[in-house]
Amino acid sequence: MAILITGGCGYIGSHTCVEMLSAGYDIVVMDNYYNSKPEALVRIKELSGKDFPFYECDIRDAEGLRRIFRENKIEAVIHFAGLKAVGESVRIPLAYYDNNVGGTVVLCQVMAEMGCKRMIFSSSATVYGTGNPSPLKEDMPTGAVTNPYGRTKHMIEGILQDLCVSDPEWSVILLRYFTPIGAHESGRIGEDPNGIPNNLMPYISQVAIGKLPRLSVFGNDYDTPDGTGVRDYIHVVDLACGHVRAVDYALTHTGAQAINLGTGNGCSVLDLVNAFVTANQVEVPYVIAPRRPGDVAVCYSDPTKAGELLGWTANRDLTDMCRDTWRWQNQNPRGYDN
């Protein structure tokens, strides 16, 4: 029996492949390479010392998916595949609804047809929206999202919960990620954004290496200790380990569960800049810029439920996140294009 990993060549997917293999699971990976490169597969195999089937396939391609299920015994799916750029989702919302929502519906239809009813879904802290105070807990209201990307995650959570109500054989874990950063400690896999990064950590590391002149800090007038936005940064390898625990859980339970994956610690933009400078002995020049539309001031998790249900807690700290990001950036200045 194997676990199908959609979007397994991407940032979080590639790290999860390595952790699933080292936990002893067999995996099958699919990706359409929309936001990833075949080199990621080479490196997953190198790090794990294991081989596995790969399919270049789109989650909207029902016949392609059927072939994967026919050729492999799949007992659960970890579903990463999707589009994730918040700003782009405002410009081309239909592409986000088609890929993320439409693609997930097709995937679930084929899963049900093939008798595989266990899914770990990549949701996001973004579903908590603007109305809730941190620390954010799973039973707080969701849906006051600020962009189409966030709406796709909220809609998919609802679709998967409806599915579990309609058929008690389904088992779904909605993993609400806080802000994943860092890279595998080997420096062989990491985040490889196209063009100028949208997110803070890849921006910091590209400034540190001299590809970009300076960081713009989006707002220093929030109601936070230093005025800059506060987030719950989580090491991508801790996040990947959370997926291994979620698969263990989904194989032995049914129904839908939303679970936060975060550290529970709030960290400001300037805290992260300072941690990066200290951990790596580099310079990161910055200027204060206007707030980014749609940002909340503070967003961090209460990770208690993940501890209770999955036996999982994050155990890598900010220094690990900064050091591992820098090792990846330094060893792969052009990402997987080296």
CB 55 within 8 Å of CB 27: no
Q: Is 300 a catalytic residue?
A: no
Token pair in block for residue 92: 């081309």
Q: How far is the CB of 84 from ligand NAD (least distance, A)?
A: 4
Phi-psi region of 224 (alpha: psi -120 to 50; beta: other; left: phi over 0): beta
Whose CA is closest to 121, among 19, 261, 21?
Answer: 261
Each residue 95-124 as x (binds ligand NAD by CB under 6 A) or -, in order, gives ----x---x------------------x-x
Each residue 235-274 as x (binds ligand WQD by CB under 6 A) or -, in order, gives ----------------------------------x-----
Each residue 163-192 as x (binds ligand WQD by CB under 6 A) or -, in order, gives ----------------x-------------
Q: 102: which DSSP letter? A: I
Q: Considering only residues 29 through 48, tell me which ones interact with ligand NAD, judged by CB under 6 A.
A: 31-36
Q: Which entry of ligand WQD, ligand NAD, none binds 229, CB below 5 to 8 A by partner kind?
A: ligand WQD
Kindly tell me which of 86 and 279 has the beta carbon lying closer to ligand WQD.
86
Helix (H/G/I), strand (E/B), else coil: 120: strand
Q: How far is the CB of 159 from ligand WQD (least distance, A)?
A: 17
Stretch that binds ligand NAD, among 77-85, 127-135, 282-290, 311-319 (CB under 6 A): 77-85
CA atoms within 13 A on the CB side of 252: 6
Does residue 218 bind ligand WQD (CB under 6 A)?
yes
Q: Supply the DSSP string of 17-66, one letter for each residue.
A: HHHHHHTT--EEEEE--TT--THHHHHHHHHH-----EEE--TT-HHHHH
CB 201 within 8 Å of CB 181: yes
Token pair in block for residue 187: 């420096």
Q: Which entry of ligand NAD, ligand WQD, none binds 45, CB below 5 to 8 A by partner kind?
A: none
Residues noted as catalytic? 149
Query: What does the binding site for ligand NAD look like in residue numbers (CB under 6 A)?
Result: 6-7, 9-13, 31-36, 58-60, 80-84, 99, 103, 122, 124, 177, 179-180
